[in-house]
Amino acid sequence: MPRKEIELPYRVEYLSILNENAEVDKSLEPNIPESLLVKLYRAMVLSRKFDERMLILQRQGRIGTFAPIKGQEAQVGAVALLEPEDWLVPSFREMPAEVWRGKKLEKVLLLYGGYNEGGRTPDDLNNLPVSIPVGTQTLHAVGLAYGIKYRKGKNVAMAFFGDGATSEGDFHEALNFASVFQVPAVFICQNNHWAISLPRARQSHSKTLAQKALAYDMPGLQVDGNDVLAVYAAAKEAVDRARAGGGPSFIESVTYRLSMHTTADDPKKYRREEDVEQWARRDPIIRFEKYLLGRGLLSEESVAGIADEVQAEIKEAEERWTRMTEKPADPMEMFDHAYEELPPYLLEQKEQLRRELDAKQTEAN
Amino acid sequence: MAKMTMVQAINLALTQEMEKDDSVVVLGEDVGVDGGVFRVTDGLIGKFGPERVIDTPLAESGIAGISIGMAVYGLKPVCEMQFSGFDYLAFHQMESHAARLRWRSQGRFRVPMVMRAPYGGGVRALEHHSESREAYWAHTPGLKMVIPSSPRNARALLVSAIRDPDPVVFYEPKAVYRAFREEVPEAEETIPIGRSQLVREGRDVTLISYGATMHPVLEAASLLKERDGVEAEVIDLLTVSPLDDSLFTQSVKKTGRAVLVHEAPRSFGPGAEIVARLVEKSFLYLEAPIARVTGFDVIIPLYQREREYMPGTERILRAARETLSF
């Protein structure tokens, strides 16, 4: 009997709407309200400027190691689709998405400045904290989405992760579980081409990362990750599908890590400046600014105005953060939130630290 | 009251909690249609349906990870690792997230999940099916580690574990699963987590254990009385972590001698922590070195040699006598 081809659902498509020359495909232009377009632009500028400021603060020793987001600002296009009760499940390079959703800039500074308080999320904000172990948070999004489906809700859980995460076992387990249970999850892979020093081509032999979803019978779409309109359109499709009970989706957002992996990394050791420059020309903010100017939604004055506003916002956040961190952190607070109720032996340890601190205080006096 | 096995007692706990609270869900490999490879979750899917009794794909890290997400959402997942020897795959999720999300979010998020697993040897099993690595979980800040020894306390502890606002790892001694029946009340009963239990009052030596080895310990206590006229005090930890040292340190202040028993390998095992607490809190009352009767620092052998690995009645008796004659 001759071999029979088995028809599999889905193919991988590439979506680009606003290219690096700011040329827009009118047939694909999404219907985004004008106010939202400007809000997206402002958010991207804020993210870029705040990220630059954070780098300066880190080099000054005022905050510690963090992962810069330069080049990946268009991620806000995806979270723009989320309702307040939806869930954001970030990795560690989603400051723009977190801030869009309501995370305060001073909280970001607190976290990377070594204060556990920076991890506290307000009660009305469904953002999980930053997840550092690569890929592991994808499973949490599946669990959240299962809960939503179990309670017959219309919300979605949106998980972010990088190209490196697609090599981790948890990523595969998450996509598998999500598709077996058909949960309202959206998986967004920020393929920024680098996992520290490992280039995308050495992370996976697959032609695309989007096709990995097809193995789990899940739609996978590759988008120009520097095109906020395409990111928005792709996320809208995925979020609508999830809300309608159509199950999970995977989006590979093809972007570039213009800066270093973290502030403790030196990219010159493993990549060439020419490659970075090539991608810098595909900057998501430059093309979007041109597009909005072209549509009359921005002017040279409003661009300058937004730049000033953003700097003022950052400055105010820094001032609040400086006031919050005026007094040294109380080490006794390290015992907070270990459990709902501290067990006796842990309370003994806390007491021990208290006595040691008091003794040090007495000696000092 | 009805007499039931540990398997039936655990099933009772799950059934009653699921009837009471629809946020409780059960998930794991073969827990639904098959009722669990030990039949612990038998009948649950019939009562509560496949959305609440979930047959998952074969992926332990996945099971733990989605349980974390469910718990953060507001469900109360009781996930199962088919054998404790496979929970190492889940360890990363439990250590890196389950144990930390309350701390990481400074109290905004909690992870009220339970991870159940059959643990321990003595059932002539294949490799990986007789493990005893409770120390890994006990050493993880943010988790609780509970190990029942009999049907009644298994039921009561599991109910407490399900209701606990923090993640609990619940190891069930598989050697005890069907070993005997005990009266278990139909009416709701709980035992607080973090509290050990005095099982036999005595004067001359303190025997401390948990899980399956409680039974050879109690046998040894009987023999000590019968043959040597010695009254052993026996303590069942019930919770390995957080470790309740109040009962056993008081006991050793009375007896001056202690024998700790566990299947887990000797070095860096739970016994070592008990020794440390006794030295911290009952040092001046010690009349003899504290004895540890444990598994050896080797992989538990396949069943032709398993008996000599396990801390049985004879070894416990010998250790107690040595302690008494020091």
Q: Is B165 on the interface with A (CB under 8 A)?
A: yes
Rounded Cα distance between A346 and B129, Å, is 33
Residue in B with minimal Cα distance to A173: B62
Domain boundaries, chain A: 13-324, 331-364
- In B18-92, the DSSP E strands lie at 24-28, 53-55, 76-80
Rounded mean pLDDT, A8-28: 96
Question: DSSP 3-state assignment of A239?
Answer: helix
The distance of Cα A53 from the centroid of its chain, to the nearest Å, equals 18
Residues of chain B in contact with residue A131, where contact means CB-CB under 8 angstroms, are 97
Kindly name the residue from A193, A257, A282, A287 that is annotated as catalytic: A257
For residue B208, pLDDT over 90 is answered with yes
Q: In sequence order, what are the beta bridge partners of B84?
A: none
The reply to whether residue B108 touches residue A123, judged by beta carbons under 8 angstroms, is: yes
For residue A206, pLDDT over 90 is answered with yes
pLDDT of residue A92: 98
Residues of chain B in contact with residue A128, where contact means CB-CB under 8 angstroms, are 72, 101, 105, 109
**Tokens 């820094």 sit at which residue?**
A318
Mean pLDDT of chain A: 97
Q: Please say whether the beta carbons of A250 and A280 come within 8 A.
A: no
Rounded mean pLDDT, B36-58: 98
Residues of chain B in contact with residue A148, where contact means CB-CB under 8 angstroms, are 73
- Cα first-last separation, chain B: 45
- Of A189, A148, A195, nearest in space to A172 by CA: A189
Residues of chain A in contact with residue B56, where contact means CB-CB under 8 angstroms, are 177
For residue B323, pLDDT over 90 is answered with yes
Rounded mean pLDDT, A14-32: 97
- Of B24, B43, B46, B25, nearest in space to B35 by CA: B43
3-state SS of B273-323 is: HHHHHHHHHHHHHCCCCCEEEEECCCCCCCCCCHHHHCCCHHHHHHHHHHH
Q: Is B196 on the interface with A (CB under 8 A)?
A: no
Whole-angstrom Cα Rg for chain B: 19
Q: What's chain B's length in residues?
A: 326
Rounded Cα distance between A10 and B45, Å, is 34
For residue A365, pLDDT over 90 is answered with no
Structure tokens of A164? 């490196």
pLDDT of residue A10: 86
Give A9's pLDDT tier (boundaries 50, 70, 90).
Answer: confident
Q: Which residues contact A90 (CB under 8 A, 6 or more apart)?
A: A97, A98, A127, A128, A130, A131, A137, A160
pLDDT of residue B1: 82
Residues of chain A in contact with residue B103, where contact means CB-CB under 8 angstroms, are 116, 337-338
DSSP one-letter string for A60-107: TTSS------TT-GGGHHHHTT--TTSEEE--SS-HHHHHHTT--HHH
For residue A242, pLDDT over 90 is answered with yes
- Of A22, A82, A51, nearest in space to A232 by CA: A82
The reply to whether residue A136 touches residue B56, judged by beta carbons under 8 angstroms, is: no
Of B62, B142, B246, the CB nearest to A177: B62
Give B205's pLDDT tier (boundaries 50, 70, 90).
Answer: very high
User: Residue type for B91, please?
Assistant: F
Rounded Cα distance between A226 and A216, Å, is 27
Whole-angstrom Cα Rg for chain A: 22
CA torsion B155→B159→B162→B165, rounded to 10°?
Answer: -140
- In A192-256, the DSSP E strands lie at 194-195, 198-199, 220-224, 249-254
Please give the CATH number for the structural domain made up of B197-324: 3.40.50.920
Of A128, A169, A339, the CB nearest to B166: A339
Q: Is B131 on the interface with A (CB under 8 A)?
A: no
Residues B169-196: tens digit of each pLDDT:
999 999 999 999 999 999 999 999 999 9
For residue A254, pLDDT over 90 is answered with yes
Please give the CATH number for the structural domain made up of A13-324: 3.40.50.970
Surface of B (69-98) touching A: CB under 8 A:
69-75, 77, 92-93, 96-97
- Characterize the bridge pairing of strands A198-199 and A220-224: unpaired
Structure tokens of A280? 């810098």
Backbone torsions φ then ψ of B288, nearest 5 degrees: -155, 160
Residues of chain B in contact with residue A145, where contact means CB-CB under 8 angstroms, are 69
CA atoms within 13 A of residue A293's CA, in its CB half-sphere:
14
Rounded mean pLDDT, A41-54: 98
The reply to whether residue B92 touches residue A133, judged by beta carbons under 8 angstroms, is: yes
Of A144, A173, A180, the CB nearest to B73: A144
* Domain B2-184 shares a fold with domain B197-324: yes
CA torsion B146→B150→B152→B155, rounded to 10°?
Answer: 40
Q: Is B62 on the interface with A (CB under 8 A)?
A: yes
Give A259's pLDDT tier (boundaries 50, 70, 90).
Answer: very high
Please say whether the structural domain B2-184 has been given the CATH code 3.40.50.970: yes
Q: Please say whether the beta carbons of B158 and B10 come within 8 A.
A: yes
Give B158's pLDDT tier (boundaries 50, 70, 90).
Answer: very high
Residue in B with minimal Cα distance to A107: B105
DSSP one-letter string for B93-151: HIIIIITTHHHHTTTS-----EEEEEE---S-PPTTSS---HHHHHTSTT-EEE---SH
- Of B140, B244, B251, B141, nearest in space to B191 by CA: B244
The reply to whether residue A337 touches residue B74, judged by beta carbons under 8 angstroms, is: no
Annotated active-site residue B128? The verdict is: no
Rounded Cα distance between B111 and A337, Å, is 12
Of A119, A181, A343, the CB nearest to B194: A343
- Cα first-last separation, chain A: 92
Domain boundaries, chain B: 2-184, 197-324
For residue B228, pLDDT over 90 is answered with yes
Interface predicted TM-score (ipTM) of this complex, two decimals: 0.97
Rounded Cα distance between B83 and B28, Å, is 11
Question: DSSP 3-state assignment of A308?
Answer: helix
User: Residue type for A45, please?
Assistant: V
Is residue B270 reached through a cis peptide bond, with omega within 30 degrees of 0 on the bond before it? Answer: no
Q: Is B140 on the interface with A (CB under 8 A)?
A: no
Rounded Cα distance between A181 and A274, Å, is 45
Structure tokens of B149? 């020894």
Question: DSSP 3-state assignment of A341?
Answer: coil
Q: Determine the distance in angstroms separating the CA of A219 from the nearest CA of chain B, rounded to an integer.
A: 20
Which residues from A are below 8 Å from B when comparing CB atoms? 116-117, 119-123, 128-129, 131, 133, 136-148, 150, 157, 169-170, 173-174, 176-177, 180-181, 336-340, 343-346
The reply to whether residue B70 touches residue A133, judged by beta carbons under 8 angstroms, is: no
Residues A79-114: tens digit of each pLDDT:
999 999 999 999 999 999 999 999 999 999 999 999
CA torsion A107→A165→A194→A86, rounded to 10°?
Answer: -40
Q: Is B239 on the interface with A (CB under 8 A)?
A: no
Q: Is B55 on the interface with A (CB under 8 A)?
A: no
Residues A144-181: tens digit of each pLDDT:
999 999 999 999 999 999 999 999 999 999 999 999 99
- Of B210, B251, B212, B215, nearest in space to B232 by CA: B251
CA atoms within 13 A of residue A48's CA, in its CB half-sphere:
18
Rounded mean pLDDT, A43-56: 98
pLDDT of residue A91: 98
3-state SS of B153-222 is: HHHHHHHHHHHCCCCEEEEEEHHHCCCCCEEECCCCCCCCCCCCEEEECCCCEEEEECHHHHHHHHHHHH
Question: DSSP 3-state assignment of B28?
Answer: strand
Residues A108-154: tens digit of each pLDDT:
999 999 999 999 999 999 999 999 999 999 999 999 999 999 999 99
Rounded Cα distance between B290 and A7, Å, is 69
